[in-house]
Structure 1
Amino acid sequence: ATRSAITEKTKAIIINSPNNPTGAVYHPDEIEALVQIANEFDLWIFDDMIYSDLVYCEHPYVSPATFEGGHERTLTIGGWSKIWAMTGWRLGWITGPKEVMEGVKTCQASSASHVPTFLMGSGKVALELTDEPRMFYEAFAERRNVFHALLEELPGVKAPKPEGAFYILIDITGTGMDDIEFATRALEEAKVQVIPGSLMPGGEGLIRLSYGTGLEQIKEGCRRLKNWLQA
């Protein structure tokens, strides 16, 4: 599928693992296969690993740069917004081959100069923390299990268990509604806001949900959806 999508205009492959919106974590074999394709077609790889600390399945996040031919063509992008919950601060980082990073630094200096000084210090402190990221991870893992179990009780809904990040992409075609109708009625009738999948390419019939909120909100939201769908 990846090869068939490549055209003469293709310049790069973007990898987001763990993934938003699916919650999928690419297996190391899949990452290696993508690196081989990038080598074959001389493509760059953008590795968006912002959720890499939130993996719940047996296989871990693996960087494309660790495979043969991957290091010299991979730009790795991360940040503080997820595992450290510093979302609104817009503090991130990028690393890659030296010759490319020289161009990246020029673009950064010309467009935004640098992030505010106090954010630099805060980011340094966050990197030194050990207990807090583990607490966040454990909280997300618990929410994932509770959320998935409750979603499986919803009539007409199929909910694959996410492997990472904090999103679940559910199939609602069994309810007889498309994703736009489902999202609209869920908001109006159940007072629950969800994201229709058709806003994203290939997402027709799917709904994206997040367990980035607390357990009580998750339980209440699922209770409302269940009552609405059973009415």
Structure 2
Amino acid sequence: MPTPANRLSQFSESVIRGMTRLANRCGAINLSQGFPDFDPPEEILSALETATRGPHHQYAVTWGAPRFREALAQKISRNTGLSIDPDQHLVVTCGSTEAMMVAMMTACNPGDKVIVFSPFYENYAADAILSGAEPIYVTLNAPDFGYNPQELEAAFEQKPKAIIVCNPSNPTGKVFTPEELTHIITLAEKHDAYVITDEPYEHIVYPPHVHTYAASLPGAWERVITCNSLSKTYSITGWRLGYVLAPQEVIAQARKVHDFLTVGAAAPLQEAAVSGLELPDQYYSDLQDLYSRKREVFLGYLRQTGLPFTEPQGAYYVMVDISSLGFETDTQAAEWFARKVGVAGVPGSSFFREPEHRFIRFHFAKKEETLHAAGKRLLLLADKDWLKSNR
């Protein structure tokens, strides 16, 4: 039998999705894979019912249905101050996951180097490898997960073709400041590199932090490739609707990559999602308030456990330091949490290039009753007698 491609030996299947399967097997509350257990906005659900009875069951335009792209361009223009042309600046993809792959394959040739901040969302290293690119890792340092400017500058000296920036960050919840993004863009301009941003948590940011669209910064438009999705903003992770935003010259090439990867995103879902893109600004204020409450509920329980954690500035993930529990690895700890505590998280090592085993990532994109149930289980960690008998 012939052997599979060598590049596939450089990474594993998704650890995050693996923890979901473990949670399902042991009946644990799943705070590993970041999807809500509550419904999308009613406007989207009603529009979906209508779309399923309409003429939207065949292929849409490969790079996105015109009505969807028009609504998307209007929303992006309103948020960023940029003048977005729906016909020239957008490719609609099957989620931000495909958007990242399209961006990488559009930007990079085999053998190019790509800067990846560590910790990173697990897809990024795999995207680089599948694109034939070589990752250069730059550390985000706990507890605030800022980067060392000198380390980043040294990475750019290796002449990368691109840098990937997740903002707000998964898994750390870090929100990059305008000054940090400007520094990154200045280095990219100096070394003629693309800045590939992944921004699906754009509307889930906690005051006083504010999301900055990298593409909107002075001099940034020509080299920023923005990847994004509707999954987190509208609680429709299963719909797999994302997009790439970039200058016309880049999008012309990205369309080719997307066409031969997936042909196109689901036509009826694009039609239904237009109603979400047309929601008023109040929806996004309410969404921020909703997640602020969820964050406080969940962090309140974590404080009672006594375990250190990093308070997220954006997104809905928390990196919890479990080193005091005495496990040899975070993978052992994550499996123990699922089986014994009844709450599933993700071993932090799956996000780090470095040999880091201190953290488990939990998320709080759940109904408040779900978070209370998970929190009460986590309070077992404050009971020394329970810990002694269950370790």
Q: CA deviation at 1:49?
A: 1.1
Per-residue deviation at 1:24? 1.1
Shift of 1:134: 4.0
Paired amino acid for 1:53: H
Q: Distance in 2 between matches of 1:174 and 1:13?
A: 35
For structure 2, list consecutive stretches of 5 or more residues without a partner in the other structure. 1-150, 387-391
Residue pair 2:302, 2:378 contacting (<8 A) in 1 also: no
Secondary structure of the structure 2 residue equivalent to 1:153: helix
Does residue 143 of the first structure (1) align with residue 308 of the second (2)? no
Deviations 1:53-96 (A, max 9, x none): 11113131112223333211001111110111111111111111
Q: What's 2:153 paired with?
A: 3
**Offset at residue 176 of structure 1 (A):** 2.5
- Separation of aligned partners in 2, 1:136 and 1:121: 22
CA distance in 2, matches of 1:7, 1:118: 46
User: Normalized against structure 1, the TM-score is what?
Assistant: 0.92
Stretches (4+) displaced over 6 A:
none
> 1:61: which partner in 2?
211
Aligned residue type for 1:154: T
Aligned equivalent of 2:131 = none
**Pairing 1:130-209 to 2, within 5 Å after superposition:** 130=280, 132-155=283-306, 157-177=307-327, 178-201=329-352, 202=354, 203-209=356-362
Please, what is the CA RMSD of the aligned residues?
1.8
**Partner residue, 2:369:** 216
Distance 1:59 1:227 in 2: 33
User: Residue 132 of structure 1: CA displacement?
Assistant: 4.5
Structure-to-structure mapping, 1:116-131, within 5 angstroms: 116-130=266-280
* Higher relative contact order, structure no. (Cα contacts within 8 Å, ≥ 6 residues apart): 2
Q: Which has the larger radius of gyration?
A: 2
Matches within 5 A, 1:30-69: 30-69=180-219
Q: How many residues align?
A: 230
The 10-residue stretch of structure 1 (129-138 or 73-82) with the greater mean CA deviation from structure 2: 129-138
Give the Cα–Cα distance (whole angstroms) in 2 for the partners of residues 114 and 166 of structure 1.
29
TM-score, reference length from structure 2: 0.56
1:81 aligns with 2:231: yes
Q: 1:133 Cα deviation (Å)? A: 4.2
- The AA in structure 2 aligned to 1:152 is R
CA distance in 2, matches of 1:129, 1:72: 29
> Which among 70, 75, 78 is matched to residue 220 of structure 2?
70
Q: Offset at 1:6?
A: 3.8
Q: Once structures 1 and 2 are overlaid, which stretch shifts more, 25-34 or 7-16?
A: 7-16
What's the CA shift string for 1:188-227, capped at 9, x where partnerless? Answer: 2112111110112144211100001111221222221221
Q: What are the ranges of 5 or more consecutive residues in structure 1 without an aligned counterpart?
A: none
2:191 counterpart letter in structure 1:
F
